[in-house]
Amino acid sequence: MIHTANTVRTLQAVAILVGTALLLWSIGVPTLFRSAEAASVLDASDTLSNSAPDTASNHTLAFTTPNGMEIGETIELTFPVGFDLSGLDEDDIDLDVNASPEATDASAGAGVWGVVIAGDTITFTTPTDAGLASSTDVLIRIGNNAVDSGSGDTQIINPSATTSYAIEIGGTMPDAGEVRVAIVDQVTVSASIEATLTFTVSGVDAGEPVNGSPTSTAATTTSATLPFGTLTIDESRTLAQDLSVTTNAANGYTVTVEQTSDLQSTTGATIDGFIDGAYTDAPAPWQPPSALIANPDTYGHWGLTSDDNDVPARTAQFGSDEWVSGSTTPIAIMGHDGPSLGEVTRVGYQVEISSLQEAGDDYTTTLRYIATPTF
């Protein structure tokens, strides 16, 4: 009798447990148990490419989902009122999982995430054949920074009000959270910088080289004098000056030189321009005057050279030991296509006479250097 009663009570207890379990199952208690395991997404952030109001911006969202995702579950990004997502499509959105790009399309498929934009919400649905493991890193790019599954060409428009905004991360996945972004006015920075130009002419000592010429400088010059002295027949004589330019001109500068007149004596005799009075303006190797008695232009000549072999204003550049004639027209002898911090160029002057050159102790002319920056 006692055995029978115990058996009946045991069966009653089992029945109660089974009935309770069925009741709990019917009202969704297993789901409640799973929900109790939900957690906040970790390391969540959203980086904007532009935080100005009413301005198009890329978004780069990153977070870690602690519990992972089952097949068919979703991630939802919900933007607050004010953000304009109306121009977005699936090509404007990339999704990376653990730093690996995922395929996306308008609906989920095998190995493909579904991406749907509806109003202020973007919904991602896992592929039909795989979910996410726990502690998975997720990276989402929205805008023209999307390059993996199509090329993004549309961005989200920021709200017009300057404040911070919460973007919710949710969906049917077990984890949730939010990120915040700040929309702030752009800062206008203004300043003024004066245009600068420093141009100096310096003398060169005797015995110095000049642009590959076999003739070194014959005497010391100053910033204002080129003292050739008494010339020797059939012997070239070379002098030089150093030019230096410092400028903040964005488009560089050009230095030219011109002479006010021929190298001439008070008797009217001239030492003509290189070569033999031809006033050569294309650099050519130095050569002595021809000394043709019927042609006074060939009795003696003088010219100039520059060791700047990359002058933007010149068509034909100076080569080693190549010379042009002095001229009353400006000759480009130095230059650069950008700012300069004390660039130095050596300009050489060479004269040679034959026995036919007219005597005179006061041959003279004046040189004028002009430095022109382009700002």
Full DSSP string of 120-135:
TEEEEE--TT--B-TT
Note the pLDDT tens digit of each residue in 280-320: 999 999 999 999 999 999 999 999 999 999 999 999 999 99
Q: So where are the chain's domains?
A: 41-182, 197-373
Is it true that 41-182 and 197-373 share their CATH fold? yes
Q: Using the 8-state DSSP alphabet, how is residue 92 labeled?
A: G
CATH class of the 41-182 domain in this structure: mainly beta
pTM for this structure? 0.63
- pLDDT mean across residues, the chain: 91
**Is a pLDDT exceeding 80 seen at residue 26?**
no
CA distance 59 to 36: 31
Assign 232 to helix, strand or coil: coil
Q: For 100-130, how does the pLDDT look when each residue is reduced to its tens digit (9 = 90+)?
A: 999 999 999 999 999 999 999 999 999 999 9
pLDDT band at 18 (very low <50, low <70, confident <90, very high): very low
Q: Which residues contact 129 (CB under 8 A, 6 or more apart)?
A: 71, 110, 111
CA distance 239 to 352: 12
Architecture of domain 197-373: Sandwich (2.60)
Range 232-244 average pLDDT: 98
Cα 83 to Cα 75: distance, rounded to the nearest angstrom:
19
Give the tens place of pLDDT for each residue, 330-374. Answer: 999 999 999 999 999 999 999 999 999 999 999 999 999 999 999
Residue 35 binned pLDDT confidence (cut-offs 50, 70, 90):
very low
The DSSP H or E segment spanning 7 is: helix 2-26
pLDDT digits (tens, 9 = 90+) for 84-98: 999 999 999 999 999
